[in-house]
């Protein structure tokens, strides 16, 4: 049996391929670790290397908040499984995760707003050297399309925690598109086009921020509504039991 066949029959690989919830949790954990590592890298560039100033610290703050948002929802999900909850308790925790995820997206949007101000007013920008700009363009396109498709594809599932992970990934995908736009404008426009680049970053970046704010607000409202439904259901069950 070769290595590929062993991998295909490995219980963890099989579970990753067949279990949607397990696959989402593993992918979220890996994304959180990578995001936190990238945030630390930016922070060290500012603290040790003296690079970027307020720009690099703003980027580090954004990626730390993004990693924290994922990890908080992930921790809540994991602790809930360890407690062996009742179905009603699980649904309540899922709704709380969804509502909390919406609040975290609103907070994330505040740090993102700092990036947009620096890009559109102070003319800071992402900078990918050489052919790396094309690699990042391909990765960003894949990331945005993939996160959008998964939100639509798994919308039918009533698991609010899994939907929370997908929505956070979608918000991150939206921000990645703006980051790519900033880099492309810096790379392929002349110095005389600075005003145009600022206007584009402000317009598209502002629209993206509005989308993230709307997504976060929708999650808050929907999560609160779901908690109200579960409260009524629990009260009804209690009355029926009596």
pLDDT, tens digit only, all 242 positions of the chain: 567 677 667 777 778 788 878 888 888 888 899 889 988 988 887 787 665 678 788 888 898 999 999 999 999 888 877 777 788 888 889 999 999 999 999 999 999 888 888 888 877 777 677 777 788 888 888 888 888 888 887 776 778 888 999 999 999 888 888 888 888 887 777 655 667 778 888 888 899 999 999 999 999 999 999 999 888 877 767 667 65
Range of the domain at 50: 14-232
Cα-based distances in Å from 58 to 103, 111, 176, 187, 209: 20, 7, 15, 22, 16
**Within a domain: residue 237?**
no
**Within a domain: residue 2?**
no
Cα-based distances in Å from 179 to 77, 175, 191, 201: 30, 6, 19, 9
pTM metric for this prediction:
0.85
**Within a domain: residue 242?**
no
Cα-based distances in Å from 109 to 18, 61, 75, 207: 34, 12, 22, 12
**Within a domain: residue 93?**
yes
**Within a domain: residue 6?**
no
Counting the structural domains of the chain, the total is 1
């Amino acid at each position: 049996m070769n290595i590929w066949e062993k991998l295909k029959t490995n219980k963890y690989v099989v579970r990753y391929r067949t279990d949607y919830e397990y696959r989402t949790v593993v992918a979220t954990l890996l994304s959180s670790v990578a995001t936190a590592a990238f945030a630390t890298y930016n922070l060290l560039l500012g603290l040790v290397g003296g690079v970027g100033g307020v720009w690099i610290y703003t980027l580090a703050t954004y990626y730390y908040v993004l990693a924290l948002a994922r990890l908080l929802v992930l921790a809540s999900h994991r602790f809930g499984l360890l407690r062996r909850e009742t179905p009603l308790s699980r649904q309540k925790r899922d709704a709380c995760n969804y509502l909390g995820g919406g609040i975290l997206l609103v907070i994330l949007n505040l740090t993102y707003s700092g990036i947009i101000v620096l890009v559109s007013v102070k003319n800071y920008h992402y900078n990918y050297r050489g052919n790396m700009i094309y690699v990042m363009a391909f990765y960003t396109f894949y990331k945005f399309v993939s996160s959008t498709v998964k939100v639509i594809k798994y919308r039918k599932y009533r698991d609010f925690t899994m939907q929370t992970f997908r929505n956070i990934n979608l918000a991150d995908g939206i921000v990645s598109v703006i980051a790519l736009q900033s880099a492309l404008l810096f790379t392929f426009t002349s110095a005389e086009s600075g005003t145009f680049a600022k206007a584009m970053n402000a317009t598209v970046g502002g629209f993206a921020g509005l989308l993230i704010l709307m997504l976060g607000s929708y999650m808050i409202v929907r999560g609160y509504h779901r908690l109200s439904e579960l409260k009524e259901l629990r009260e009804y069950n209690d009355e029926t039991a009596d």
